[in-house]
Homo-oligomer: A and B are copies of this chain.
Amino acid sequence: MTQPTRITALPRHRDAGRRLNVVAGGAGFIGSHLCRALLDRGEGVLCIDSLQTARPSNLAALTGHPGFSFVRHDITAPLPASVLAEVPRIHRVWNLACAASPPLYQMDPEHTMLTNVVGTNHLLRLAERAGARFLLTSTSEVYGDPEVHPQPEEYRGHVSCTGPRACYDEGKRAAESLVFDYGRAGRAQVRVARIFNTYGPNMDPGDGRVVSNLICQALRGEALTIYGDGTQTRSFCYVADLVAGLLALMEAEFDGMQPVNLGNAAEITVRELLDQVVALSGTQARVVHRPIPVDDPRRRRPDLDRAAQLLGWAPRVPLSEGLAQTWAWFAAELQGELKARPAQAAE
C-alpha cells in the first residue's frame, strides 16, 4: 500500500517526514495558511495557539491531517511538556502568536506586551534547545507613523512608546531585539519578517481590519465605515503571497541578522479600497466616517528591495484578484448568517 499522492505546487523536501515545524499562532489568519502550506510540503506541524483571537474553524480545517498536531497553550507561560518532548524532531520554530488587530490587542495591552516579549523568549529558548531555526513575524507597525516613504528596513521608525498602540508596536520591537540578540550570540539561526497589511480567506470577520470590515459590511448591506477621510494609504498583500514570502525567508541562506519586509508595494488609499469593494459587491449602502484612531499611521508601503535580493521573492496576486477571492470566501463564510436575516440585506 502506498500513500496517496499529495497534489501541490510546492516542492516536497526529501527528508520532509522528519521535519517538524512548531507554529505558534497557527490557528490565526496567517498562521492557518502557513500550517496548510507546510503540511502540503509533507512536513509535520505542531501548532501552539491559545485560541484567544484565532478562529476555531481555521483549526478545524487542519485537524485530522496526519502531519498536524495541536496544543492549546498561551506562550506567555512556559512551554508544556508535550511541546518539549518534541525537541529532537523540531527543525523550525515560527512565531506568529499575537493578536494583530488594534481593538483586540488593546483589550489587554499587558498580555499583548508579554505575548511578544515573554512568548518570543520561550520560543527562542525552544529553538536554541532544539537547534532549530527561528522566525519571528514582526510587523510594519515597528515603523509607526512613518516619516520615510516607502519604508526600507533601515528606517528606525516613528513609534510612540506612550500611546495605546505601543503595547503592540513596542512589543514587536522588543521581540525583534531579543531575536537578533539570540542570533548575535549564535544561540539560534534567526529570521525576522516585517509583515505589512495582509488580507484573504480565514480573516476573522470581527477583528476590525479594513478589508474584512468593508467586505462584511457590503455583504450584510450595512453602511460602510471609513476612519478619517479615507485618504490614508495602505498596501495590501494577498495572504498566499505573504506565506510564500515567509517560507522563502525561513529557508533563504543568509545570516538572518537583518529584518526583511514582506508585503505588497501597490499603495492605495482606503477610499480607493472602498470603491473596489463597492464595485465588487454592487452595494448601495451609504458611507459613514468615524474619527481616526490615535496614532493611526497615515501612510504605509513596504520597500521590497531586500526581499527581492535576499529571497528572490515578490508578491504576484493583484488586489482585484485577491479581493475577489476574499469576497467569495466571506460570502460563503457568512452564508448561514445572511440566509437567516430579513430580505433587506440582499438589496
Is A43 an interface residue, CB under 8 A from the partner?
no
Interfacial chain B residues near A173, Cβ < 8 Å:
159, 161, 166, 170, 173-174
Partner of A166, one of B117, B167, B180, B185: B180
Interface residues in A170-218 (C-beta closer than 8 Å to B): 170-171, 173-174, 176-178, 180-182, 184-185, 192
Identity of the chain B residue whose Cβ is nearest the Cβ of A166 in the assembled complex: B177
Is A284 an interface residue, CB under 8 A from the partner?
no
A41 CB, min distance to chain B CBs, angstroms: 30
Interfacial chain B residues near A166, Cβ < 8 Å:
173, 176-177, 180-181
Evaluate contact between B178 and A162: CB separation under 8 angstroms.
Answer: no
* Complex copy number for this chain: 2
Is A30 an interface residue, CB under 8 A from the partner?
no
Is A110 an interface residue, CB under 8 A from the partner?
yes
Partner of A110, one of B113, B161, B167, B181: B181
Interfacial chain B residues near A180, Cβ < 8 Å:
162-163, 166
Identity of the chain B residue whose Cβ is nearest the Cβ of A257 in the assembled complex: B162
Identity of the chain B residue whose Cβ is nearest the Cβ of A114 in the assembled complex: B121
A 246-282 to B, binary, CB cutoff 8 A, 1 in contact else 0: 0000000000011100000000000000000000000
Identity of the chain B residue whose Cβ is nearest the Cβ of A180 in the assembled complex: B162
A 127-142 to B, binary, CB cutoff 8 A, 1 in contact else 0: 0000000000000001
- Contact of A161 with B144 at beta-carbon distance under 8 Å, contacts A118-B117, A118-B118 already known: no
Interfacial chain B residues near A157, Cβ < 8 Å:
156, 159, 161
Evaluate contact between A160 and B164: CB separation under 8 angstroms.
Answer: no
Evaluate contact between B156 and A142: CB separation under 8 angstroms.
Answer: no
CA distance A157 to B259 in the complex (A): 19
Secondary structure class of chain A's binding surface, majority of residues: helix
Interfacial chain B residues near A181, Cβ < 8 Å:
109-110, 113, 164, 166-167
The listed residue with most B CB atoms (<10 A of its CB), out of A117, A118, A162, A181, is A162
CA distance A181 to B181 in the complex (A): 26
Identity of the chain B residue whose Cβ is nearest the Cβ of A138 in the assembled complex: B161
Is A158 an interface residue, CB under 8 A from the partner?
yes
Interfacial chain B residues near A178, Cβ < 8 Å:
109-110, 113, 167
Evaluate contact between A162 and B176: CB separation under 8 angstroms.
Answer: yes
The listed residue with most B CB atoms (<10 A of its CB), out of A113, A167, A171, is A113
Partner of A170, one of B118, B121, B167, B170: B170
A249 CB, min distance to chain B CBs, angstroms: 15
Interfacial chain B residues near A164, Cβ < 8 Å:
181, 184
Evaluate contact between B162 and A177: CB separation under 8 angstroms.
Answer: yes
Evaluate contact between A159 and B156: CB separation under 8 angstroms.
Answer: yes
Interfacial chain B residues near A163, Cβ < 8 Å:
180
Partner of A113, one of B158, B162, B177: B177
A-B contact pairs, 6 of them (CB 8 A): A110-B182, A118-B118, A156-B161, A162-B177, A170-B177, A174-B174
